[in-house]
């Protein structure tokens, strides 16, 4: 076995390292900076150079070595390389080769391109460990252009009616992708601190984002009529959000595809925007790896594994502590 | 259907009542009459006859989506809505349509007359001409259950805004058994035709629940107190020599309760009675348990034996129309006096009784009386302000229901199932059990009473503690205890536990109790003996 599944996480015996481990280990290869994948407490970290600033920002003083996409590195008798996963800037699939056998850990991935992340690239392998957060045929994403128009129209309408537009999105990745879709001609863009912190890190590493105004206790919302306010989903409906007065609320998440979820979150609008692959995306990505053995991790694993099984794959469910883009707490992704 | 879909989307995209009403008013001001009529029908619970079974719709949708049926079925509970699931799995459309709402309804009705292959072709063609939201709305027309976040009240308000008519007057016009086929928008909403409403009931005046004690309501002398009967709310209408019995759900029940036909021997024409329909024990001159009345609900025709075993009685408590005149603006005391006079000459064998007034000199004495409600087979008390008019719908302040505290029992959750609609993806439907020796015996299902936060917590727990799956139902570790509140208990042969509860719901999550500390079947049987 190139990789095994242990209580600490995915482990490579030949290289003596873990991929996105859940408990402190000596050597951790990290696919991306989301908190269910990049956890504190490991002795040594390895990530892509693009993902590194965020991981450092979140985990503080850690021993972090970086690697560029597609660069090969030998760790003991294993050869590893990181390949674009298209999930958030710097996110990677990790390819591990031991004695000619290739396994790939997908991490979280999205196959359609966006303005910030390096586009997903399929990697040929024998075994593919895939997430399936949205592994049901009801999940199909529209093109970013369509969502872009929806969001800007909503914002412009709100502005015309004298309301602020409060948009909840996960502060790492999703929020910046939304920023790239906004039309700054409509009005000012305000940001919650959690979003702005990530913006600063990304701007410092050379990614282009539109101008934003950080909301501080001294900010007077009246000075920014018709603003779009970008905040973590948990901030919507809070006392923090009340300062903006008359407002329309919305969430940007793949779960907004389901009307019931959107209604439960009691938002006025839901924009279907996910950093994960949709049903067709998952199926195409898996087909393109050429792998026969598929391990499915977080998401609708039992249903998706059965589907893959019927399609002729040797599919197996791997229990994980990854959470993906969760349904009721949009803040862990 | 673009206009109707836009209305749906506008309503669906806001949580604000004012915005929903504005969208409705805008629609009613601009849509063609035929569409308006159907919109009113749909939002007041009327729908086209179901031309196609949901089984077929599922099969065709799965086939068109290129997925196995099992995968469709697995997706459905996660989406929580059949019409939406179908809309989401289908591939993008290849063409666009321009039919109006009423055109589509005509299209669907034509399917009743053709064979299955043609029906299938027609539905697949329709799906292929619609984007996701249009499909969802179209599928709702196919499957019925057109609940899209608009109450009838909001629809009526929007219509009132668009037409400049009085909202209460419109609510009254919309009552009764009209169908889009039997009327027109003009006849229903605009025309003044007094004969059109011969069978039409009045919108029911509804009470708010009184929390705590009535001491804040002012002097008890201002109020009339009655038992809150445990039956079916109904109006009996006698106009133009005909008679109609309506339920609160606006179902015409004239034929289900043939006893009331005899009222023509005792009561004059031109009256509307409001009251409670109960199954009656004529020997004791008292109500039978609700379970006896239940045998009569849902039966279109009543066998002789049932007519004898569970005869119906109207406990009348209000007079809404007298000599053909609408009395609703008159004070309740006056309506009540007229009702008493009207019923004073009616003999005991007639299937109607005057609701007794309870002595109401001070609140404390009334509270004592309330404790006897269960013995009277009542659910508690009703308090009605003497000076109040008969309101349309639920208005706070003049009518209060002061219900008995529910019965409660502590039970162990053993099965869990996901909810629908806004509760899709949350485990919200639970089966509860009590101990019988070492065995847990299921006795009730409940799905309300917890907060969203508690449902999320229990959902996460269910996912980790599933022992077995039977389709959508999860058998879970018997660990959590809930206090189950209910309104009544009756013996039942259909349930393994031997009892059936009325309105069971979760009163609270007993974090302080372990499964072993839950109640027993013996406790439940004791309650049956005492209250059944």
Question: Long-range CB contacts (< 8 A, 24+ apart) of B5-13?
Answer: B5/B133, B5/B134, B5/B137, B7/B39, B8/B133, B8/B137, B8/B148, B9/B133, B11/B148, B11/B149, B11/B150, B12/A259, B12/B148, B12/B149, B13/A268, B13/A269
CA distance A136 to B17: 34
Please indicate whether residue B228 is annotated as part of the active site. yes
Q: What pLDDT shows up at residue B280?
A: 95
Closest chain B C-alpha to A16 CA, distance in angstroms: 30
CA distance A29 to A23: 13
Identify whether the C-beta of residue B390 lies closer than 8 Å to the C-beta of residue B401. no
Identify whether the C-beta of residue A321 lies closer than 8 Å to the C-beta of residue A296. no
Q: Tally C-beta pairs within 8 A across A and B.
A: 70
Q: What pLDDT shows up at residue A326?
A: 62
DSSP state of A82: E
Average pLDDT, chain A: 93
CA distance B482 to A298: 31
CA distance A125 to B205: 70
Interface mutation target, options A132, A255, A258, A332, chain B, most CBs of B under 10 Å: A258
Residues of A in contact with B68 (CB under 8 A): 307, 310
pLDDT tens per residue, range B71-93:
999 999 889 899 999 999 999 99
Residues of A in contact with B10 (CB under 8 A): none
Which residue among B228, B384, B403, B525 is the active-site one?
B228
Closest residue to B15, CB basis, from A261, A266, A306: A266
Q: Which of B42-56, B144-158, B250-264 has the lowest mean pLDDT?
A: B144-158
Chain B residue at shortest CA distance from A327: B425
CA distance A143 to B67: 23
Q: Per-residue pLDDT for A138 more than 60?
A: yes
pLDDT tens per residue, range B17-48:
898 999 999 999 999 999 999 999 998 888 78
Domain ranges in chain A? 4-138+275-317, 144-271
pLDDT tens per residue, range B362-387:
999 999 999 889 888 899 999 999 99
Identify whether the C-beta of residue B292 lies closer than 8 Å to the C-beta of residue B282. no
Closest chain A C-alpha to B42 CA, distance in angstroms: 20
Q: Which of B129-138, B170-179, B397-406, B507-516 has the lowest mean pLDDT?
A: B170-179
A310 touching B (Cβ < 8 Å): yes
Closest chain A C-alpha to B158 CA, distance in angstroms: 20
pLDDT tens per residue, range B234-274:
999 999 889 999 988 777 888 889 999 999 999 999 999 99
Positive/negative CA dihedral, A74, A79, A83, A88:
negative
- Looking at residues A62-80, what average pLDDT do you find? 97
Cβ of B72 within 8 Å of Cβ of A137? The answer is yes
- Looking at residues B331-352, what average pLDDT do you find? 95
**Per-residue confidence band for A328, with pLDDT thresholds at 50, 70 and 90:** very low
Q: Per-residue pLDDT for A331 more than 50?
A: no
Q: What pLDDT shows up at residue A31?
A: 98
- For residue B505, the SS3 value is strand
Q: Per-residue pLDDT for A332 more than 50?
A: no
- Count of CB atoms situated within 10 Å of the CB of B118: 12
Closest chain B C-alpha to A99 CA, distance in angstroms: 38
Residues of B in contact with A248 (CB under 8 A): 14
DSSP state of B359: P
Identify whether the C-beta of residue A88 lies closer than 8 Å to the C-beta of residue A32. yes
Q: What pLDDT shows up at residue B194?
A: 58
Closest residue to A327, CB basis, from B12, B85, B425: B425
Chain A residue at shortest CA distance from B89: A138
CA distance A21 to B506: 40
CA distance B58 to B240: 48
A263 touching B (Cβ < 8 Å): yes
Q: What pLDDT shows up at residue B430?
A: 96
Closest chain A C-alpha to B307 CA, distance in angstroms: 45
CA distance B443 to B181: 45
Give the ipTM of the model, two decimals please: 0.93
Question: Which token pair is B265?
Answer: 């021997």
Question: Which token pair is B273?
Answer: 């009675």
Instruction: State the alpha helices, DSSP H only, in chain A.
Output: 52-59, 144-160, 174-181, 193-204, 239-242, 259-264, 279-289, 301-310
DSSP state of B273: E
pLDDT tens per residue, range A218-275:
999 999 999 999 999 889 888 999 999 999 999 999 999 998 888 877 788 999 999 9
Closest residue to B71, CB basis, from A137, A248, A259: A137
Question: Which token pair is B228?
Answer: 């809150």
Closest residue to B89, CB basis, from A138, A248, A268: A138
Q: What pLDDT shows up at residue A179?
A: 96
CA distance B208 to B35: 35
Chain A residue at shortest CA distance from B65: A137
Residues, chain B: 532
**Per-residue confidence band for B493, with pLDDT thresholds at 50, 70 and 90:** confident
Q: Would you tell me which CATH number, out of the four given (3.30.70.120, 3.40.50.10710, 3.30.2350.10, 3.40.440.10), belongs to the domain A144-271? A: 3.40.50.10710
Percent of chain B whose pLDDT exceeds 70 = 98
Interface mutation target, options A133, A134, A138, chain B, most CBs of B under 10 Å: A138
**Per-residue confidence band for A329, with pLDDT thresholds at 50, 70 and 90:** very low
Name residues whose C-beta falls within 8 Å of residue B45's C-beta, 6 or more positions apart in sequence: B146, B152, B250
Cβ of A137 within 8 Å of Cβ of B75? The answer is yes
Cβ of B424 within 8 Å of Cβ of A261? The answer is yes
Contacting A with CB below 8 Å, chain B residues are: 12-16, 65, 67-68, 70-72, 74-75, 78-81, 84-85, 88-89, 136, 149, 420-426, 452, 456
Give me the architecture of the A4-138+275-317 domain, per CATH.
4-Layer Sandwich (3.60)
Q: Does A144-271 match A4-138+275-317 at the fold level?
A: no
pLDDT tens per residue, range A6-16:
999 999 999 99
A137 touching B (Cβ < 8 Å): yes
Tokens 């481990």 correspond to what residue?
A21
Closest residue to B80, CB basis, from A140, A260, A328: A260
Name residues whose C-beta falls within 8 Å of residue B322's C-beta, 6 or more positions apart in sequence: B270, B271, B338, B342
Q: What pLDDT shows up at residue B426?
A: 85
CA distance A52 to B401: 64
For chain A, the farthest-separated pair of C-alpha atoms sits apart, in whole angstroms, at: 64
Interface mutation target, options A133, A157, A257, A264, chain B, most CBs of B under 10 Å: A264
Closest chain A C-alpha to B129 CA, distance in angstroms: 18
Closest chain B C-alpha to A213 CA, distance in angstroms: 27
Identify whether the C-beta of residue B108 lies closer than 8 Å to the C-beta of residue B142. yes
Which CATH number is B205-403 given? 3.30.470.30
Q: What pLDDT shows up at residue A324?
A: 64
Which CATH number is B407-531 given? 2.40.50.140
Q: Per-residue pLDDT for A333 more than 60?
A: no
Name residues whose C-beta falls within 8 Å of residue B530's C-beta, 6 or more positions apart in sequence: none
**Per-residue confidence band for B289, with pLDDT thresholds at 50, 70 and 90:** confident
pLDDT tens per residue, range B192-218:
765 557 888 999 999 999 988 898 999
Q: Which of A122-126, A222-226, A299-303, B399-403 has the lowest mean pLDDT?
A: A299-303
Cβ of A258 within 8 Å of Cβ of B74? The answer is no
Interface mutation target, options A132, A134, A135, A137, chain B, most CBs of B under 10 Å: A137
Identify whether the C-beta of residue A330 lies closer than 8 Å to the C-beta of residue A253. yes
Q: What pLDDT shows up at residue A299?
A: 85
Domain ranges in chain B? 2-143, 205-403, 407-531
CB half-sphere exposure, B463, CA atoms < 13 A: 15
Chain B residue at shortest CA distance from A260: B422
A51 touching B (Cβ < 8 Å): no
- Looking at residues A34-53, what average pLDDT do you find? 96
Give me the architecture of the B2-143 domain, per CATH.
Orthogonal Bundle (1.10)
């Amino acid at each position: 076995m190139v990789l095994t599944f242990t209580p600490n996480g995915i482990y490579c015996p030949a290289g003596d390292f873990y991929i996105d481990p859940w408990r402190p280990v000596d050597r951790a290869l990290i696919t991306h900076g989301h908190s269910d994948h990049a956890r504190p407490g490991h002795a040594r970290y390895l990530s892509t150079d693009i993902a590194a600033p965020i991981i450092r920002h979140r985990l503080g003083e850690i021993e972090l070595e970086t690697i560029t996409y597609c660069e090969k590195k030998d760790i003991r008798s294993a050869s590893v390389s990181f390949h674009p996963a298209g999930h958030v800037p710097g996110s990677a699939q990790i390819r591990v080769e031991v004695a000619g056998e290739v396994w790939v850990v997908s991490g979280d991935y999205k196959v359609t391109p966006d303005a910030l992340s390096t586009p997903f690239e399929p990697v040929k392998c024998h075994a593919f460990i895939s997430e399936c957060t949205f592994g049901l045929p009801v999940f199909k994403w529209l093109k970013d252009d369509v969502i872009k128009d929806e969001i800007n129209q909503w914002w412009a309408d709100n502005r015309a009616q004298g309301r602020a537009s409060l948009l909840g999105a996960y502060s790492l990745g999703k929020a910046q992708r939304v920023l790239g879709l906004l039309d700054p001609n409509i009005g000012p863009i305000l940001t919650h601190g959690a979003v702005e912190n990530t913006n600063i890190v990304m701007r410092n590493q050379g990614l282009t984002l539109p101008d934003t105004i950080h909301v501080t206790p001294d900010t007077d919302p009246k000075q920014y009529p018709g603003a779009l306010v970008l905040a973590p989903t948990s901030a919507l409906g809070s006392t923090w959000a009340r300062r903006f007065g008359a407002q329309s609320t919305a969430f940007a998440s793949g779960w907004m595809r389901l009307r019931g979820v959107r209604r439960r979150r009691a938002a006025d609008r839901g924009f279907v925007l996910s950093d994960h692959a949709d049903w067709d995306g998952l199926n195409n990505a898996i087909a393109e790896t050429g792998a026969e053995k598929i391990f499915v991790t977080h998401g609708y694993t039992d249903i998706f594994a059965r589907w893959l099984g019927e399609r002729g794959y040797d599919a197996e469910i791997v229990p994980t502590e990854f959470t993906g883009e969760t349904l009721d707490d949009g803040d862990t992704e | 259907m673009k206009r109707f879909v836009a209305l749906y989307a506008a309503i669906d995209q806001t949580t604000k009542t004012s915005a929903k009403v504005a969208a409705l008013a805008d629609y009613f001001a601009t849509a063609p009459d035929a569409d308006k009529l159907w919109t009113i029908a749909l939002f007041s619970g009327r729908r086209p006859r179901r031309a196609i079974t949901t089984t077929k719709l599922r099969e065709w949708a799965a086939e068109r989506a290129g997925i196995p049926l099992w995968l469709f079925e697995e997706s459905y509970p996660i989406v929580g809505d059949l019409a939406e699931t179908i809309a989401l799995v289908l591939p993008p459309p290849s063409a666009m349509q321009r039919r109006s709402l009423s055109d589509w309804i005509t299209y669907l009705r034509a399917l009743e007359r053709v064979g299955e292959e043609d029906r299938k072709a027609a539905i697949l063609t329709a799906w292929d001409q619609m984007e996701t939201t249009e499909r969802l709305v179209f599928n709702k027309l196919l499957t019925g259950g057109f609940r899209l976040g608009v109450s009838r009240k909001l629809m009526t308000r929007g219509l009132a805004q668009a037409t400049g008519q009085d909202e209460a007057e419109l609510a009254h016009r919309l009552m009764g058994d009209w169908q889009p086929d039997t009327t027109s928008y003009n006849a229903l909403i605009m025309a003044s035709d007094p004969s059109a409403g011969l069978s039409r009931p009045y919108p029911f005046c509804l009470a708010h629940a009184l929390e705590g004690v009535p001491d804040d309501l002012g002097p008890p002398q201002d109020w009339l107190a009655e038992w809150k009967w445990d039956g079916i709310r109904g109006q009996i209408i006698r106009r133009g020599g005909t008679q109609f019995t309506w339920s609160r759900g606006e179902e015409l029940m004239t034929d289900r309760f043939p006893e009331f036909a005899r009222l023509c021997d005792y009561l004059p024409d031109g009256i509307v009675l409001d009251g409670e329909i109960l199954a009656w024990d004529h020997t004791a001159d008292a109500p039978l348990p609700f379970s006896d009345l239940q045998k009569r609900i849902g039966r279109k025709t009543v066998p002789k034996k049932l007519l004898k075993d569970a005869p119906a009685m109207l406990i009348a408590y209000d007079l809404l129309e007298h000599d053909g005149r609408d009395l609703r603006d008159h004070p309740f005391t006056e309506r009540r006096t007229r009702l008493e006079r009207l019923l004073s000459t009616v003999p005991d064998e007639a299937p109607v009784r005057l609701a007794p007034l309870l002595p109401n000199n001070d609140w404390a004495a009334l509270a004592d009386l309330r404790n006897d409600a269960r013995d009277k087979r009542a659910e508690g008390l009703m308090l009605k302000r003497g000076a109040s008019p008969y309101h349309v719908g639920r208005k706070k302040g003049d009518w209060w229901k002061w219900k008995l505290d529910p019965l409660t029992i502590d039970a162990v959750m053993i099965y869990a199932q996901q909810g629908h609609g806004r509760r899709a993806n949350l485990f919200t439907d639970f089966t509860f059990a009590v101990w019988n020796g070492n065995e847990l015996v299921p006795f009730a299902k409940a799905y309300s009473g917890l907060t969203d936060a508690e449902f999320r917590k229990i959902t996460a727990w269910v996912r980790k503690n599933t022992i077995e799956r039977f389709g959508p139902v999860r058998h879970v570790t018997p660990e959590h205890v809930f206090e189950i509140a209910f309104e009544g208990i009756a013996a039942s042969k259909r349930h393994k536990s031997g009892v059936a509860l009325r309105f069971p719901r979760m009163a609270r999550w007993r974090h302080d109790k372990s499964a072993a500390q839950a109640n027993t079947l013996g406790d439940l049987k004791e309650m049956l003996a005492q209250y059944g």
